[in-house]
């Protein structure tokens, strides 16, 4: 049985699109997913199932939330190996000591024409970024919330994305390793 990680975007933000994680876990368990485990309220789920693809799982989870909670979140599903590769590919290992200053943007697809020049122009101070495959790595030592690069990255990359800080990525890796 394969281990998967679902990242739901834009839920539980300032009281909008509210989806309690215990309700999400129960919904996914009823759907037949096994060993469902959530992490914090921002839509991080580790689970196991067989015979599905990431895109199929993402569409099904999004539809279930729509059917039971009235809104359709964007969902990106990664295999355990996808998450391991993303973490291992971190080009800023020195940033791991400050886990809320390092963010991985998981992209729905590989970007066909990312506007790297505009991304570079938005970079301020000690910010650094790198796009590797379906992951955009962003180090914001002066603060993620203040970063114009963080705010505009998805639009300039040109594909849907959802970001997780290094602490969350590390925790999801731990959950995936211990699944089952």
| Answer CATH for 86-166 from 1.10.10, 3.30.70, 3.40.1130, 3.30.420 | 3.30.70
Say which residue, 114 or 17, is predicted with more confidence. Answer: 114
Q: Give the pair of three-digit tokens for residue 178.
A: 């211990």
One fold for both 2-83+171-177 and 86-166? yes
Q: How confident is the model at residue 14 (pLDDT cuts 50, 70, 90)?
A: confident
The pLDDT tens digits of the residues spanning 127-177 come to 999 999 999 999 999 999 999 999 999 999 999 999 999 999 999 999 999
Q: Are strands 128-132 and 135-139 parallel, antiparallel or unpaired?
A: antiparallel
- Residues 96-101 have a mean pLDDT of 94
Give the pLDDT confidence score for residue 15 in this predicted structure: 75
Contact between residue 133 and residue 105 where contact means Cβ atoms under 8 Å apart: no
- Residues 18-37 have a mean pLDDT of 95
Contact between residue 86 and residue 135 where contact means Cβ atoms under 8 Å apart: yes
Contact between residue 164 and residue 86 where contact means Cβ atoms under 8 Å apart: no
pTM reported for the whole predicted model: 0.95
- Residues 68-85 have a mean pLDDT of 96
Structural domain spans, the chain: 2-83+171-177, 86-166
Contact between residue 148 and residue 169 where contact means Cβ atoms under 8 Å apart: no
Q: How confident is the model at residue 126 (pLDDT cuts 50, 70, 90)?
A: very high
Contact between residue 80 and residue 86 where contact means Cβ atoms under 8 Å apart: no
Q: How confident is the model at residue 78 (pLDDT cuts 50, 70, 90)?
A: very high
Q: 17: helix, coil or strand? A: coil
165 vs 76: CA distance, rounded Å: 16
Q: Give the pair of three-digit tokens for residue 147.
A: 């970063």
Q: Which CATH class is domain 2-83+171-177?
A: alpha beta
Give the pLDDT confidence score for residue 36 in this predicted structure: 97
Of the candidates 18, 61, 14, 15, the residue with the CA atom closest to the CA atom of residue 36: 61
What is the chain's mean pLDDT, rounded? 95
Q: How confident is the model at residue 27 (pLDDT cuts 50, 70, 90)?
A: very high
């Amino acid at each position: 049985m394969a281990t998967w990680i679902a990242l739901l975007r834009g839920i539980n933000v300032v009281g909008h699109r509210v989806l309690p994680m215990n309700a999400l876990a129960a919904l996914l368990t009823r759907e037949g997913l096994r060993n469902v485990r959530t992490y914090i309220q921002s839509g991080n789920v580790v689970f196991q199932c067989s015979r599905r693809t990431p895109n199929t799982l993402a569409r099904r989870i999004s539809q279930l939330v729509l059917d039971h909670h009235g809104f359709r979140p964007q969902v990106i599903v990664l295999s355990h190996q996808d998450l391991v590769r993303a973490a291992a590919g971190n080009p800023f290992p020195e940033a791991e000591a400050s886990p809320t200053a390092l963010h991985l943007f998981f992209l729905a697809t590989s970007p066909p024409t990312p506007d790297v020049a505009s991304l570079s122009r938005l970079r301020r101070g000690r910010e650094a970024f790198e796009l590797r495959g379906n992951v955009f790595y962003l180090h914001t030592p002066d603060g993620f919330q203040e970063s114009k690069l963080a705010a505009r990255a998805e639009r300039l990359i040109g594909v849907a994305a959802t970001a997780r800080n290094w602490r969350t990525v590390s925790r999801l890796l731990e959950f995936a390793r211990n699944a089952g």
